[in-house]
Structure 1
Amino acid sequence: MKVVVAPDKFKGSVTAVEAADAIALGVLDALPDATVVRCPVADGGEGTLDVLAAAGAEIVSVRVSGPLGSPVDATYAVLDGCAYVESARACGIEFVTPSPSVSLQANTYGVGELIAHALSRGVGRLVLTVGGTASTDGGAGMLQALGAQVLDGSDAPIGLGGGPLREVSEVDLKPVLTRLSGIGIGVATDVTNPLLGPSGAAAVFGPQKGASPDEVAELEEALTAWARALHVIGADVADIPGSGAGGGIAAAALALGASVESGFDLIVGLTGVESALDGADLVITGEGSLDPQSLAGKAPAGIARRAKGIPLLAIAGRIALDDAQLTSLGVVGSRALIDHAPSLDYALANTPALLRAQAADLVRAWAS
């Protein structure tokens, strides 16, 4: 029997690679003679580099500016001449304590530093993943790190962070475009939020980063000014689906000519899932929270699409989908770790053991 194990990360506890290893052990506990193929996956958010490393990418370490300016040790991946830059490694929300002031100050300068380092290695393509950031600066800091001039009405450089963008009047991207000449750029995200408006970067993601309604309004004003400045130089990015991803990092990348690509489709194409599913008898997927967002482009939904006709089991930290929603994904059996743990803290601290045990029980139930 061939079993494909293809989970995403369980945020706050284990990476996708660690989850795949634990689930695989559970499968073998239940079916000792099974052939288990591990295919950890990602959707372009946090944890993408871990999946790329498992696929054979080189991981490059660089010290860069964190979201509030203090240095952080960040990494990016290089595979087949393409640099995969995970924005959260430089400006991730885990580097800050969300608060109103942080929501205005956090910036993406370190992301630009990662890109600059990758360019110095002679890569021919860049893929930018944008989930999990602390910033809502429209990617302005990233562009500033790459040499862009972001000026106020007095032709003075504006400061870093989303708040100062209210003062932006002019943007000169020529130095950045020169550095990127001949380099293809992709933005890996399955988020479709635009830069502005009620479903935009400030309104939807600002509160997650500590913004109160006042800061959300301030950031919306700032991003509106940013979009206007970009529009003046011919980059009309405000309403493009996905431009609000990463607090607007995607908008800045689009202004450089980037294309928005499905994060899951891009990453899964590098992990061998497609070939692994050929001849599979069972597929197991999962992630930290299996909820309505999972139905809209997250990794489990992507695996479900590719596993049509193959029995699919799902394991998650928590499951907030009803039976009909699970059935719509093609799930024939599921387990939530929280239902088999005395507390959330216990589940987070013991995720590998719980994954192994619940995978074994779930497979036994399916096979009986």
Structure 2
Amino acid sequence: MKFVIAPDSFKGGMTAKEAATAIQTGLERIYPNAEYVKVPMADGGEGTVQSLVDATNGKLVSASVTGPLATQVKANFGILGDQTTAVIEMAQASGIQYVNSHTHNPLVTTTFGTGELIIKALDYGAKTIILGIGGSATNDGGAGMAQALGVKLLDEANNDLAYGGGELGKLRYINDEQIDSRIKETNFIIASDVTNPLVGAEGASAVFGPQKGATDGMVKILDQNLTHYAKIIKEFLGKDLANYPGAGAAGGLGAGLLAFTPAKMQKGIDIVIKYSRLSEKAKNADIIFTGEGGIDFQTKFGKTPYGVAMATKKIAPDAPVIVVAGNVGSGVESLYSKDSIDAIFPIVPGVTTLPKAIKNGPANLANSAENIGRLIFSLKK
């Protein structure tokens, strides 16, 4: 019997690797001699660095970089097992966790630290850089990131722009002659499922700005400034990004990466499936286990369990895909089909508080896996 175990993290409770271990622990009580292949997963958001590092036997690298409020913060990035691929979560450097209700201000927050992480990854020898761009505290269109890479963003008097989306209205010239020469030789992959354009009613400022502390007045200023920023990018770089799908991700960091690097956008789960070699590892599998903290109808739109199911069914079409989750929400019936998910099980045994559910998560997950294993065993008698 070959089990492939490919869960995402259970947010706040278990990393993807810990969840995979808990599932294996439960199954081993019934199938002690089975073959177990653990593939920690993610969908491009929080936990992607750790999952890909775990899945490829890579390593974490710690660095001190500029946070969104221009103070120094500690951030990690990953070097995968091939030693030439780096994976960066922009939130590590420029995330919303570094601001609070008193300090959040997307007029001044910067992605400069994300650019510094890119440089540090290049210094480490990275030839491919995967960037997860969720959870930002910023709305600067990736301007800070570009400045860290060596791009000169200048006002009418040829002065460097200060940090933040509030400054972009002053932009008059872009000079990329001093950008790090390694950028153009590097394969940049943006891991994002966001399809919002840079500007307008569905753009970065209007949709995501209020989550970062932007008032109605700030949203208007930020959107006007990003519109101007896109105009100057088109004038100097020949790239029309104002309405490009995904350019609005992470406060416009998507646009910045598309403007100043040879980046391409991909779905986060597709990237993780590729670099973890999930499809290869699923060959000849008898049962596939996946899961994450919560599952509902939205899982179909780029979340890990559905992505795992779709990928493994192509390789092992007769292997049932079983999902285990901390919470099973509404609309999960839309996830079932012969080409995707076969069964979904909640792991919480009864009424409890969220802190207790998180604390007991590994034990509950192991017990659920054991019970599912017992069912599989009885059906195969």
Aligned residue in 1 for 2:255:
251
Cα distance in 1 between the residues matched to 2:166 and 2:152: 17
Computed over aligned residues only, the root mean square deviation of the Cα atoms, in angstroms, reads: 2.3
Identify which range, 18-27 or 97-106, moves more after superposition: 97-106
Aligned residue in 2 for 1:312:
321
Cα distance change on mapping 1:248 and 1:203 into 2, 3 Å: same
Of residues 313, 327, 340, the one that matches 1:330 is 340
1:111 and 2:107 are equivalent in the alignment: no
CA apart distance, 1:205:
2.5
1:346 and 2:356 are equivalent in the alignment: yes
Aligned AA for 2:362?
P
Identify which range, 332-341 or 216-225, moves more after superposition: 332-341
Structure 1 residue ranges without an equivalent (≥5): none
1:172 and 2:175 are equivalent in the alignment: yes
Aligned residue in 2 for 1:279:
284
Cα distance in 2 between the residues matched to 1:127 and 1:316: 27
Determine helix, strand or coil for the equivalent of 1:102. Answer: coil
Cα distance in 2 between the residues matched to 1:277 and 1:224: 46
Structure 2 residue ranges without an equivalent (≥5): none
- Residues 276-313 of structure 1, C-alpha deviations (whole Å, 9 max, x = no match): 21111111111222233321112212111113232111
Cα distance in 2 between the residues matched to 1:349 and 1:214: 42
Aligned AA for 1:156?
N
Cα distance change on mapping 1:201 and 1:279 into 2, 3 Å: same
Whether the 8 Å CA contact 1:99–1:209 is kept in 2: the answer is: no
Where do residues 56-71 of structure 1 align in structure 2 (5 Å cutoff)?
56-71=57-72
Cα distance in 1 between the residues matched to 2:41 and 2:172: 41
CA apart distance, 1:347:
1.6
- Residues 154-199 of structure 1, C-alpha deviations (whole Å, 9 max, x = no match): 4332221223223333322232263424222221223222222333
Of residues 298, 301, 304, the one that matches 1:296 is 301
Cα distance in 1 between the residues matched to 2:345 and 2:191: 29
Whether the 8 Å CA contact 1:337–1:347 is kept in 2: the answer is: no
Cα distance in 2 between the residues matched to 1:109 and 1:304: 37
Whether the 8 Å CA contact 1:333–1:362 is kept in 2: the answer is: no
Whether the 8 Å CA contact 1:286–1:316 is kept in 2: the answer is: yes
Aligned residue in 2 for 1:267:
272
Identify which range, 10-19 or 170-179, moves more after superposition: 170-179
Where do residues 1-368 of structure 1 align in structure 2 (5 Å cutoff)?
1-54=1-54, 55-79=56-80, 80=82, 81-97=84-100, 101-176=104-179, 178-233=181-236, 234-255=238-259, 256-308=261-313, 309=317, 310-328=319-337, 330-337=340-347, 340-368=350-378
CA apart distance, 1:135:
1.6
Cα distance change on mapping 1:199 and 1:338 into 2, 3 Å: farther
Cα distance in 2 between the residues matched to 1:131 and 1:95: 14
CA apart distance, 1:99:
6.2
- Residues 65-113 of structure 1, C-alpha deviations (whole Å, 9 max, x = no match): 1121221111222233222222121112222225684333322111111
Determine helix, strand or coil for the equivalent of 1:178. Answer: coil
Determine helix, strand or coil for the equivalent of 1:342. Answer: coil
CA apart distance, 1:63:
0.7
Give TM-score scaled by structure 2 length.
0.88
Percent identical among aligned pairs is 39
Cα distance in 2 between the residues matched to 1:341 and 1:30: 27
Aligned AA for 1:271?
S
Identify which range, 216-225 or 323-332, moves more after superposition: 323-332
Cα distance in 2 between the residues matched to 1:211 and 1:348: 32
Determine helix, strand or coil for the equivalent of 2:257. Answer: helix
Cα distance change on mapping 1:194 and 1:121 into 2, 3 Å: same
Cα distance in 2 between the residues matched to 1:341 and 1:50: 31
Identify which range, 177-186 or 60-69, moves more after superposition: 177-186
Aligned AA for 1:15?
T
CA apart distance, 1:367:
4.7
Cα distance in 1 between the residues matched to 2:172 and 2:247: 20
Aligned AA for 2:255?
A
Whether the 8 Å CA contact 1:100–1:215 is kept in 2: the answer is: no
Give TM-score scaled by structure 1 length.
0.91
Aligned AA for 2:74?
D
Cα distance in 2 between the residues matched to 1:354 and 1:304: 23
